[in-house]
Amino acid sequence: MRSRPLSIQNPEIERFISLVPDGDIEEILNKQRTKTINLLSSVKEDLASKAYASGKWTLKEVIGHMTDSERVMSYRMLAIARNESEPLPPMDQNQYVSAANFNKLAWEQLLTGLDTVRSNTLSLISTFDDTEWVRTGNVMNSPVSIGTIAYGIAGHELHHRKVISEKYL
């Protein structure tokens, strides 16, 4: 079982990790995958294309953001596992969303992308041994372990699933 990170020096990541229940992170991520896809699979295209308020992202943009964020966080885990010594850059979520044109994509395509990215994340995590799990790299000017990032992925999804349930559905 992969342990919860003991020391988190980045408040943004800590905010997400605090949402994650105790348990095996790979099991948590796999269950989230099913729960999130099930929650969203009945959403119709017209609802997915709407924002809950002016200036907020559409549901399509939220799902695109979740997918892009997990891609970036998985890359960070890979870079740290491969002993990347350079600081890893931040991700400007608003820039990514505005450049992606998620609203032009079909809802089903976005859900498939989210599911595929999670599958790839789980595959990557399964390759890390205990030494790599606690290995740290520099992300957003903070030392961050692979385990911290994995828990951050889970917490990020929990955060957005709550927002989706409360504001969009």
Spatial contact of 17 and 148, defined as CB atoms under 8 Å apart:
yes
Span 22-51, mean pLDDT?
Answer: 96
> What pLDDT score does 5 carry?
67
pLDDT tens digits, one per residue of 84-123: 999 999 999 999 999 999 999 999 999 999 999 999 999 9
Task: Decide if pLDDT at 10 tops 80.
Answer: no
* Other beta carbons less than 10 A from residue 146's beta carbon: 25
Q: Residue 98 is encoded by which pair of tokens?
A: 């505005």
Please give the mean pLDDT across all residues of the chain: 94
> What pLDDT score does 140 carry?
82
> What pLDDT score does 14 carry?
83
All structural domains of the chain, each given as residue ranges with its CATH number in brackets, are 26-32+56-168 (1.20.120.450)
Residue with tokens 């929650």: 39
From the list 128, 131, 72, 123, the residue with the least C-alpha distance to 97 is 72
